[in-house]
Structure 1
Amino acid sequence: MTSTKLPLPTGIKFVFGGTAGMSATMFVHPFDLVKSRMQLSGEGGAVKKNKTSFHALARVLRNEGFLGLYTGLTAGLFRQATYATTRLGVYTTLFDMMQSPDGQPPSFTTKILCGITAGAFGAVVGTPAEISLIRMTVDGRLRVLIGYLRFLNDCYLSCSLPLEQRRGYKNVFNALYRICVEEGVFTMWRGCGPTVFRAMVVNAAQLATYSQSKQLLLSTGFFKDGISCHFCASMISGFVTALSSMPLDIAKTRIQNMRHVDGIPQYRGVLDVWVKTAHQEGFRSLWKGFSPYYLRIGPHTVLSFIVLEQLKKLYYVL
């Protein structure tokens, strides 16, 4: 982009950000599914169905087929349409507000604070889709299209949950409707606290480590400011981000998927999840599902960046 080109309108930035996030999700959604099933495997001292991420992946492919990896995709796309769009919009707005009168960008610390704030707002808006995503990916029920221009039919395959425990949501909108009717509107924001904290940690870690990793890679002289550098910096950033945010992510996942027994919730909060998980499954279980979580964060950042840049080029061409 040259200096003679006008900046993108704010509304277009929102649309492009959401589109880029949704496009990347099409590729990394299977990692989300494996991560969710790993985090719930062995919950409450139950026998672990998935010993490793590769074991979980093999079980899905064997029992549900390749399309089983995309169970809950509508929720994943809806999450990006809400969370990613809101986060980018809020960040862009705050970034512009914090610029100096002469157009100088805000300081690195200010950028981190803007990112944390944007992540928190995005998490609040995206929590309903997040809950739907968690429940649909662990449910094991897949909705597929059979034939050309035929109605959608439910395909019941060998699932990760027993029949009596499956919720059987048809799509993200059916999930949101049933959650409201069966459990109350406020259930859509169950686990909002850990979701917000996770988003704040993720944004802070990503902004700091990605910037520093990119700077370090460029200083070696082996990289230019291009896709290869962005990919390596994203994978380094993803590792640090995953390591620091996984305990919050597993707490979020289990709270959003929990059931009430005789009116009593399975968990009382984040600390209760951590204590019970560490006691029943071991301390390292707080990082259960680390591999797919890490493999999702890095590529998702890279793919989002590539799609976003291509959309910008297309905008100026048209």
Structure 2
Amino acid sequence: MGDQKPIPGYVNFLIGGASGMLAICVVQPADLVKTRMQLLGPKAKEATLASVARGVMAKEGPLGFYTGLSAALFRQATYTTARLGSFNVLFDYYKVSYGTPNFGTKLVLGMMAGGAGAFIGNPAEVALIRMTADGRLPPDQRRNYKHIFNALGRITREEGVLTLWRGVAATITRAMVVNGAQLSTYTQAREMLLPSLGDGMFLHFCSSMVAGAVTSWASLPVDIVKTRVQNAAKGTSQIQVFFKIIRTEGPLTLWSGFLPTFAKIGPHTVVTFIFMEQLVALYRRLNLEPPKQR
């Protein structure tokens, strides 16, 4: 994404996956709390970030905040590897062929990368939602998956392999919104802030926070619908879930859990892009390339 020769495609994918996996280790507790709040239904209006977190601590202890970490890591290894790798490859190809893309083009590139990553990562997404939701269920209704591979195997055996792609349309919709907002906003903010801040960690932090705020607001409605679809005992469409939420809980419910969503997406965006920038810089240093200028 700069004036140097593009990084090889496979390296972009490796860097994207490693960045996401490192970042999720930091923000997994906030992601679990966010998921629990989204599954409360009408009770979500009475719940707060603090009350849900206290409930997790009381019932499951500190390690309860890392329930489903194996699924979260596997999701990053599939979904984030695909989305960030695809975006960087598409961005480099477009820049070499047509020049620096404008914001609209960045938005389209981000949506394309997000859709591809979502399809690949949907099985891990289904397992992650179920594993993080398990602790809020009565003991006799819990699925008690041991780890990501146990979850994927049991879902396939007990419910059929297509269940792993339950809610894939909702996942792709969310991913296109998230990546369109996150990747395009980050690259645009980076370009706009570079002259005044200079290239470095502070630039990456500020650009990431802007991207995280925009992404949280844009993605929360589709994220809530996706979570409800994937946690449902029987298959249902995102359109049905969307209108049921509006009809029975009110439209503002689509933004319930904004604080934990931003608490997860904000730091996750910051840490992911900081890791990505540092890994890119490390790759270029190891390959004796001059510092990157964008």
TM class by shorter chain equals: 0.7 to 0.9
Provide the residue aligned with 2:149 in structure 1: 173
Residue 136 in 1 paired to residue 131 in 2?
yes
Q: Which amino acid aligns with 2:103?
A: F
8 Å contact from structure 2 (residues 45, 256) kept in 1 = no
Kindly, what percent of the aligned residue pairs are identical? Answer: 49
| CA distance in structure 1 between the aligned counterparts of 2:225 and 2:138, rounded to whole angstroms | 22
Residue 248 in 1 paired to residue 222 in 2?
yes
Deviation at 1:288, TM superposition (A): 1.8
Matches of residues 1-318 of structure 1 in structure 2 within 5 Å? Answer: 7-41=6-40, 43=41, 45=42, 51-101=47-97, 104-140=99-135, 160-214=136-190, 217=193, 221=196, 223-260=197-234, 265=235, 268-315=236-283, 316-317=285-286
Q: Which amino acid aligns with 1:308?
A: M
Q: Which amino acid aligns with 1:131?
A: V
8 Å contact from structure 1 (residues 120, 197) kept in 2 = yes
More helix by share: 2
8 Å contact from structure 2 (residues 166, 230) kept in 1 = yes
Q: Which runs of 5+ in 2 are unaligned?
A: 288-294
| CA distance in structure 2 between the aligned counterparts of 1:233 and 1:278, rounded to whole angstroms | 33
8 Å contact from structure 1 (residues 132, 172) kept in 2 = yes
1:47-99 per-residue CA deviation (whole Å, 9 max, x = no partner) reads 55971121111111122111111000000000000011111232233234323
Q: Which runs of 5+ in 1 are unaligned?
A: 141-159
Q: Which one is further off, 239-248 or 77-86?
A: 239-248
**Residues 120 and 304 of structure 1: is their aligned pair in 2 closer, same or farther, counting only changes over 3 Å?**
same
Relative to the length of structure 2, the TM-score reads 0.88
| CA distance in structure 1 between the aligned counterparts of 2:88 and 2:185, rounded to whole angstroms | 20
Relative to the length of structure 1, the TM-score reads 0.82
**Residues 79 and 48 of structure 1: is their aligned pair in 2 closer, same or farther, counting only changes over 3 Å?**
same
Count of matched residue pairs: 286
| CA distance in structure 1 between the aligned counterparts of 2:166 and 2:263, rounded to whole angstroms | 26
8 Å contact from structure 2 (residues 37, 52) kept in 1 = yes
| CA distance in structure 1 between the aligned counterparts of 2:164 and 2:99, rounded to whole angstroms | 40
CA RMSD of aligned residues (A): 2.5
8 Å contact from structure 1 (residues 38, 50) kept in 2 = no
1:271-293 per-residue CA deviation (whole Å, 9 max, x = no partner) reads 22122223333322111221111
| CA distance in structure 1 between the aligned counterparts of 2:281 and 2:96, rounded to whole angstroms | 28
1:25-46 per-residue CA deviation (whole Å, 9 max, x = no partner) reads 00011111001100001x3x5x
| CA distance in structure 2 between the aligned counterparts of 1:51 and 1:205, rounded to whole angstroms | 28
Which has the greater radius of gyration?
1
Deviation at 1:232, TM superposition (A): 2.7
